[in-house]
Amino acid sequence: MSDNTTTWREVAAETEERLSGVTSSPANETRWIVERAAGFDGAEYVLGLDEKVTERGMHFHDLMVERRLAGEPLQYVLGRWGFRSLDLFVDRRVLIPRPETEVVAGLAIAELQSMRTNGIDRPVAVDLGTGSGAIGLSVAAEVERAEVWISDASTDALVVARSNLAGIGRAATRVRAVEGSWFEALPEELIGTIDLIVSNPPYVAIGDEVEDVVREWEPMSALFAGDDGLDDIRKIVTGAVTWLRPGGILVLEMAPDQVPMVSDLALANGFVTAECHSDLAGRPRAVVARVGG
């Protein structure tokens, strides 16, 4: 506990030493934890290190450090994580937003912005299996006048997504959150009218290995999808043609080795093109498929 003489610089030095046993980036994680506990933002961190620690700030800090030392992912410990322009609330009810998914969101945003340039003033987009809301809320925040539907079969996940709505300001008025499994969540009047469907569905095969920290902490229902990892992707691809308008677009995230199979699946189910896109590491990561018309 603080005795009103301890500074955040002293706390940070001790924290970095303690975290060195559980992370390869103790300095970075220390900064994030101290920033969160002290309420520092950006450049305030360096300027604030010599401030005296408050009892409340120290208590919050100690709770976060103990959780991190117990193996809980940093993102859940902090309770928030950045995704494109957003600062998202995250906890164990949703997957941790990842850089690969930022790329997928970017693909969807680029397609919708192109639609606006070509005369579709209020494009309709759907983010299926939204989780924290990362993709759908990024679309609403970055594509002017886009009407966005976000859905999830998990009641808990939708609570998190709705909590994140406030973070996008006035754009939140253009977002509707609905509960249900894939297309079952959507109202029938959307059939044949959607401009773009985007999803980061579960795509890990049941028998595949995942990191222990992922298996222990993140929601399994958002990760695993049958023996080959494609159960949910098949449902989305086969159903999407009905819901998209002529010329509409489907954007899907998947594992690198699944891209050829999903491209073939899209072409076999009424899409006229299916393009592969890579993530920041250069690995195949997404398929962008277009309906004819």
Whether 81 contacts 90, CB under 8 Å: yes
CA–CA separation, 2 and 204 (whole Å): 46
Give average pLDDT by consecutive 10-residue segment, the chain, 293 residues.
77 96 95 95 86 94 97 97 96 96 98 95 98 98 98 97 95 98 98 98 92 93 94 98 97 97 97 97 97 90
Confidence at residue 1, expressed as pLDDT on a 0 to 100 scale: 46
**pLDDT in the model for residue 195:** 98
**pLDDT of amino acid 47:** 85
Residue 237 burial (CB count, 10 A): 26
Of residues 171, 2, 154, 158, the one with CA closest to residue 85: 171
pLDDT value at residue 3: 55
User: Which pLDDT belongs to residue 237?
Assistant: 98
Q: Is 88 helix (H, G, I), strand (E, B) or coil?
A: strand
Which one of 1.10.3330.10, 3.40.50.300, 3.40.50.150, 3.30.365.10 gives the CATH number of domain 93-291?
3.40.50.150
